Amino acid sequence: MHTENVVVIRGPLARIVGLAADVEAWPRFLPHYRWVTLLSGGGDRKVVEMAARRGAWPLKWRAVQTIDRSGAVPEILYHHIWGPTKGMDVGWVFEPAAEGVRVRIWHELDLQWPLIGPTPVGGLIADKVIGPQFVGHVAGLTLRTIKEIVEREAGAAGAAGEAPAAGPAAAAAVPAGTAQ
């Protein structure tokens, strides 16, 4: 299974990366996330349990989050280690462009469930149900909400004659309206 969700966000790269990387804060500003619990680690490598919902369907998994800062632009990577999407790899890619920052979330999964794992049936379930109905849906909501937050902040800062949050400190900033 392969899915991609893409959005262009008009706002500072550091703020976009900061919101995307601050996974423990997601339930405070992403209404479809029920909780994210830090299980171990911290900083640029951590293990988290994540719980979201797709409509009435509860979803829960554990993943290792790694932030790769070796390039000009950070990349956020996840590897799912527990739950129905165990083995799935996820990447957040940020591409600065003239019209804003192109943010792409990709997911790769070779379903490894007992009995139906890497078979045509497993592939069909991953490609037709898990990918578009759950993974792609949740990722799309996440991107749309982050876009809304960043563009609202950028618009408010512009209206006040201020520069929107930028620079290294903004990448670690707690989302507006949330407590530490």
Quick check: is 15 in a domain? yes
- Structural domain harbouring 44: 2-171
Judge contact between 61 and 80, C-beta under 8 A: yes
Of 6-10, 18-22, 60-64, 130-134, the one with minimum mean pLDDT is: 130-134
Three-state SS string across 107-135, please? EECCCCCCCCCCCHHHHHHHHHHHHHHHH
Work out the pLDDT band at 164, boundaries 50, 70, 90.
Answer: low
pLDDT at residue 180 above 70?
Answer: no
Residue type, 149: I
- The pTM score is 0.83
Q: How many domains does the chain have?
A: 1
Quick check: is 133 in a domain? yes
Across all residues in the chain, what is the average pLDDT?
86
Quick check: is 176 in a domain? no
Quick check: is 177 in a domain? no
- Residue 122 maps to which CATH number? 3.30.530.20
In tens, the pLDDT along 88-98 reads 999 999 999 99
Quick check: is 144 in a domain? yes
Quick check: is 178 in a domain? no
In tens, the pLDDT along 9-40 reads 999 999 999 999 999 999 999 999 999 999 99
Cα Rg, the chain, nearest whole Å: 17
